[in-house]
Amino acid sequence: MAEDPTKAKNETVEREEKTLEFWNTNNIFRKSEEKPAPEGEFVFYDGPPFATGLPHYGHILAGTIKDAIPRYKTMRGFRVRRRWGWDGHGLPLENQIEEELNIKTKRDIEKLGVERFNRAARERVLRYADDWKKIIPRTGRWVDMEHDYKTIDSSYTESVWWAFKKLHDQGLVYEGFKAMQLCPRCGTTLSNFEVSQGYKEITDLAITVKFELLEEPGTAFLAWTTTPWTLPGNMALAVNPEAAYVKISMGDERFILAKERLASIEGAYEVLGEFSGKELVGKKYRPIFDYYKEAAIKNIENAWRVYAAGFVTMGEGTGIVHIAPAFGEDDLLLAQQEDIPIVHHVNVDGTIKPEIRELAGMQAKPKEDPTRTDVEVLKLLVQKNLLYKKEKIIHSYPHCWRCETPLLNYAASSWFVQVTKIRDKLVAENKKISWIPEDIKEGRFGKWLENARDWAISRSRYWGAPIPVWKDVEGRQVIIGSIAELKARIKKSGNRYFVLRHGEAEHNVAAIASSRVDAPYHLTDVGKEKIQEVARQFKQEGVDYIFASPLMRTRETSEILRSELDLPSDRVIFDDRLREVNFGEFEGRLAREYNAYLSLEEKFVQPPKGGETIQAVKERVGALLDEVEKSYTGKKILFVTHEYPAWLLTGAALGANVAESIELKKILGNFDAPGECRELPFVPIPHNERYELDLHRPYIDSIQLLDEGGKPLTRVSDVFDCWFESGSMPFASNHYPFENLETFNPEGGIFKRRRGFPADFIAEGLDQTRGWFYSLLVLGVALFNHAPFRTVIVNGIILAEDGRKMSKRLKNYPEVLEVAHRYGADALRYFLLASPLVRGEDFNFSEKGLSEAGNKIVGRLNNILAFYSLYHTSFSSKEVSSTHPLDRWIIARLKELKGEVTAGMEKYELDRATRPISGFIDDFSTWYIRRSRDRFKREGADKEAALATTRMVLRELAKVTAPFVPFIAEHIYQNVRDADDPESVHLVDWPMIPEVTATEETLLDAMAEVRAIVSRALEARAAAGLKVRQPLPRLTLKVSKLAFEQDLLALIEDEVNVKEVVFDDHISGDLVLDTAVSDELREEGAIRDLLRYLQDRRKQKGLAPGERVALEIGADVYGKALLKKFEEQILQTVNASSLALRDFSSTEERVEIGGHRYTIILHV
């Protein structure tokens, strides 16, 4: 996503982009990770986002939180690794592919082909990755996006398999048949926390149905249901055995229902009898639909009768429950307990089966009209006179969290993590976690844990990590926990493979690139001798077949081998797929020219003119290897080929990706040398069209596994819930337990400590309490017996300015890059970090708020630095030793700020840490700097004290603000750092936090009182209509401690512009402002107006403070007298070398200032 080049960038944005360039050029982020870390490792886990769209404000908010804490911890002496990850599996991505390919159902995917569908998904995974790599750093976030992890990688999946097997070995994984929520559109069941994300209020149809007793025609049970579409699957009725039931008469009909529910009966009735629920148990009734009456169904003899069930309550309905075992949790449990038939009259895709003749093919719960099928069922009941009552109800109904289709409660097989078995441990571990905000621990998250159910982790889908379970024909299971275990089980041909690079040829000696079949390069004598030596090595074991490249040098090599090994001619097969890489335009040129043309990585995708890519070579030799493996058994097969095909045969056999292939090349060298022969380590592993190990469907399903007795196994077709994969992030991103144990090892002990586990800190949005946070905790506790994170910040949701959800359709928010372009990233970061969002609360986005953050934080800091820069050139002192009250006060305020920010960060309370910065900058800018302006302009010790103080505060403020507004912090630091300081503010240590002394506390209180007095006095001036530049005689205050603080009283006098401050306890209010203006005071006011005008003129001319001017002013007699009286003050204030007074010129424009008219010229 490109920025609009037509929009001019403001100064802040240009400065931020230069800072970003400085960081990148000088590798500042990498250096921050590598700098000494006396406090050790601070472990941070970053949950993987989808790259199927551009980052939105939710990502930026969480990302800013994830950036601020690691920056702070790095400055505190920790090493904080920050590695980016991508979540590439699951329904969100599959839904996008379906939309792009115009796929409506799972059947369409099967018709298209799983390989084509999954290939489209793989290509789509990182479609926006480049945009993310631009936007995320532009927001100031530091994270390693070059060495990222991906949930789609085979190494990641291998760790997921390991976790699944370990859970299975611990008895925490099982296959079960349960009632779950099914998305008919996606064709798969969902987990409880996925279901919880999609509830919507809808209007549904509820009906009360008549079920006629077989033994008593004319009498019917009344049962109430809110899911009429389930009625064709009715197999039983349930009553509460302890409740009282009644038989009533209404006209010619008799009904049975619970006594407590008689109030639901409309119209007159007569009670004919009363009995307990127990007495109804076992009674049979006529099926309301006869679709399955004659069907050969297991346990059909137990259908259409009454059963006792404790779950029947009297809160609603009739006290009699309709039981459709395939479509309800209680229904299924009762059916399993009582051997009631379980009938699915609805397919997994939500369509009603053909045997339900009148409804066949209809969706049970259509997305566009959820009650349409219910209405058709109702019509059938009316025709049969089986409908007692209908009504509309409004209730919360689950919908698919991705496609918004109404879910169906559907009995199905799935693989489960037995969360209920470790629920108490989960609750206990959660109590050890620090949650921000704290109420989530016992509230939203804690309550979810207390009621946690077993987690359905399998999905009947396509693009996901495959469930590593294979079964034999009798249903016995084999669980695979690693690629090594997979290879051990794969059916093999029994072939042994060897790869031989041809003997030395004439082109090798000449170092020429040669790949043409008709190239006339023969073996050298040295080459022939080497091949004869190879042949002697093979003589004992023999070779059954030779497959060779058709080039002259490989033909000659093969002939020597055939002759020495006494092979028949038909056992030597020349195959074009073994030829050398096509060098294209480099054919016949020096080999080093081709080698230098591009890097190996680039050659995988970019061919030379007229040539081919390395990837193409790998695919052709891989295809040959597959073909030979399928065609021969128990043979010794020798491939005679060239340098690149020999290397890539090995790469294809191992399923190496590009990076692994390049690493393999380093190990193999140039396949060492002509005549070099090696055995090829080959097992027919699942691979994609690029001959890379790929555990996805359909490749994993195309291999044949065998049990220990050699009998074939079949893989269950399901894939993992993507939440299981993202919850595996801590260990799977490190390919644990297969490598990287030096950086990640959660198995601590007496003589070893854990590494990389648990995380000291994680952060995500409130929606992840039942998503990533939950899956992390379940897997962490189940696998490692410990909560996988210590502290978590949960952010709220950013809403649009109007309080509604941000919506692309409504276009009610600006794009992230647009905001960064307009206000700068620092403004956005401060706005987010200082908001209630960092405490899990929702908050409205506000461009006004962004603008204020930009002005009050970034703008003011830049202005302070600019002001300081005007004077610091002549400044020499670096030490701060000042007795001036303003200097002492701002230093005390700085101490106070450091303490507040540090306290907030240590408690992970980002708003508490961030907000004081704004107040301090306001004090620094509008009080300290403004009150010190005249000190900067005067030469002497006081100026040096002000400069030293300002520089020190800027240096320390750059450090304190670095985690929050890293761009402006860097800009300030670069302008005030010493030559021997670290090159970036993000490489320095967190500033020391000295305690505010009692004397400083007194000063802070006194200055607060001064500012309060000034504020009230200025209000009094404004009420009297007197501008501040007009001096007044006095300000009277009630007696206070300030009476003895002459320096502070001088501040009040100067700020309020009064000649004196006096004290009188007898005044009626807090203060009295004397507004009598004498002629002398009026003259002073007039001169102040003139000085302000002259200073503005200097600024308009762009003059630096040290540049002198000469003044030439025309005035009348009174004006001249006034100017003469205040000449010295004018010259000093305006930095003028002279003041020439003259009469008015008739041609010059006159300006009126302070009641006098002048013509003014500034000579530079």
Query: Which residues are 1138's β-sheet partners?
Result: 1110
Distance CA 730, CA 1140 (A): 78
Catalytic residue among 399, 502, 821, 986: 502
Give yes or no for a contact between 393 and 226, defined as CB atoms under 8 angstroms apart: yes
Distance CA 649, CA 680 (A): 8
Between the CA of residue 712 and those of 281, 687, 716, 1006, what are the distances in Å? 48, 20, 13, 87
Does the annotation mark 376 as catalytic?
no
Handedness of CA 885, 887, 892, 897 (dihedral sign): positive
Collapsing DSSP to helix, strand or coil, 214 comes out as coil
Q: What is the 3-state secondary structure (H, E, C) of 901-922?
A: HHHHHHCCCHHHHHHHHHHHHH
Which residues make Cβ contacts (< 8 Å) with residue 1032, sequence separation at least 6?
A: 1021, 1026, 1056, 1057, 1058, 1059, 1073, 1074, 1075, 1076, 1077, 1081
Backbone angles phi, psi at 1024, to 5 degrees: -85, -5
Give yes or no for a contact between 482 and 158, defined as CB atoms under 8 angstroms apart: yes
Sequence letter at residue 280? L
Give yes or no for a contact between 187 and 412, defined as CB atoms under 8 angstroms apart: no
Alpha helices per DSSP H over 391-431: 419-430
| DSSP designation for 859 | I
732 token code pair: 């799977």
Q: Which residues are annotated as a binding site for substrate?
A: 501-508, 553
Q: Is 902 exposed, middle or buried (0-12, 13-18, 19+ CB in 10 A)?
A: middle
Q: Which residues are annotated as a binding site for ATP?
A: 808
Largest distance between two CA atoms of the chain: 128
Cβ burial 780-791 (10 Å sphere, 16+ → b, else e): bbbbbebbbbeb
Distance CA 722, CA 160 (A): 11
Handedness of CA 255, 258, 260, 263 (dihedral sign): negative
Task: Give Rg (Cα) of the chain.
Answer: 41
Catalytic residue among 212, 429, 580, 1045: 580
- Neighbouring CB atoms inside 10 A of 698's CB total 16
Bond preceding residue 681 cis, omega within 30 of 0: no
Which residues make Cβ contacts (< 8 Å) with residue 1014, sequence separation at least 6?
A: 1051, 1052, 1055, 1056
Cβ burial 276-304 (10 Å sphere, 16+ → b, else e): ebeebbebebebbbebbeeeeeeebeebb
**Beta strands 458-459 and 719-720: pairing type?**
antiparallel
CA 749 remoteness from chain centre: 33
Distance CA 896, CA 894 (A): 5
Does the annotation mark 601 as catalytic?
no
Query: DSSP of 245-266, one letter per residue?
Result: EEEEEETTEEEEEEGGGGGG--
Residues written for the chain: 1164
User: Degrees (nearest 5) of the Cα angle 977, 979, 985?
Assistant: 40
Handedness of CA 752, 757, 761, 766 (dihedral sign): negative
CA-closest candidate to residue 582, choices 514, 652, 496, 492:
514
Which residues make Cβ contacts (< 8 Å) with residue 156, sequence separation at least 6?
A: 149, 150, 465, 725, 728, 732, 733, 735
Q: Which residues are annotated as a binding site?
A: 501-508, 553, 808
Catalytic residues, by residue number, are 502, 580
